[in-house]
Amino acid sequence: MDQLRRSLLEAPIIEKGEYEYFVHPISDGVPTLQPSLLREIVIKICRKVELEDVDKIVTPAAMGIHISTALSLMSDVPIVVIRKRQYGLEGEVSLSQQTGYSESEMYINDVQAGDRVLVIDDVLSTGGTLSAICEALDGIGADVTDVLTVIKKAGENELDGEVDYKSLINVRVEDGEVVIVDENGDG
């Protein structure tokens, strides 16, 4: 995890209202995402979750897509992207997601009851997005085998005590800098 750790420590911090937000290639697509960093992350994911019994990788648009695509290429598990656009397809499920700085509707297509799914996201902060996704998947009747986020911001979130999840690295933003809280993450 050397590259992920190093890249987080070097991440610029911006303020969105009173919310300190780190800008990182995994969570924002800037600065440039190096293939070696993405490869390091996917290898760590493969070691942290059980992929043998997974039917689909489920990820919210947009910043989970690159992680899930790389993981799909390594595992041959197909991807379902939860979109912010409604398509009106049969079986489409709507969910409301709320983060520390935004709120929107998202839509799940092509997940059915009994599907064994791995949920992947880039960052866990408030837990609003992942909590809404897990609740919607439960409502569909999907079997969530694992929930994994690459980066977890330390502190309470909506998943704590409700959903078992894993993270690759845990951080907090303190005085305008990223601080590594646990370089091994959760789970």
The pLDDT score that the predictor gives to residue 102 is: 65
CB count in 10 Å sphere of residue 92: 14
Q: Would the pTM of this model clear 0.75, i.e. be above it?
A: yes
**Residue-by-residue pLDDT tens, the chain, 187 positions:** 599 999 999 999 998 888 888 999 999 999 999 999 999 999 999 999 999 999 999 999 999 999 999 999 999 999 999 999 999 999 999 998 766 556 789 999 999 999 999 999 999 999 999 999 999 999 999 999 999 999 999 989 999 999 999 999 999 999 999 999 999 999 8
Q: What does the pLDDT read at residue 72?
A: 98
Domain boundaries along the sequence of the chain: 3-182
Q: Which fold has domain 3-182?
A: Rossmann fold (3.40.50)
Instruction: Provide DSSP, 133-186.
Output: HHHHHHHHT-EEEEEEEEEEESS--TTTTTS--EEEEEEEEETTEEEEEETT--
**Residue 18: what pLDDT?**
80
Give the single-character DSSP code of 68: H
Helix axes 35-48, 2-9, angle to 10 degrees: 120
How far apart, in whole angstroms, are the C-alpha atoms of residue 111 and residue 96?
17
- The values of phi and psi at residue 33, to 5°, are -85, 115
Model pLDDT for residues 5-26, shown as the tens digit of each residue: 999 999 999 988 888 889 999 9
Residue given tokens 């569909």 in the structure block:
140
Q: What pLDDT, on a 0 to 100 scale, did the predictor assign at position 8? A: 98
pLDDT at position 97 is 74
How confident is the model over 109-125, as pLDDT tens digits?
999 999 999 999 999 99
Question: How many residues in total does the chain contain?
Answer: 187
Specify the pLDDT at position 99: 60
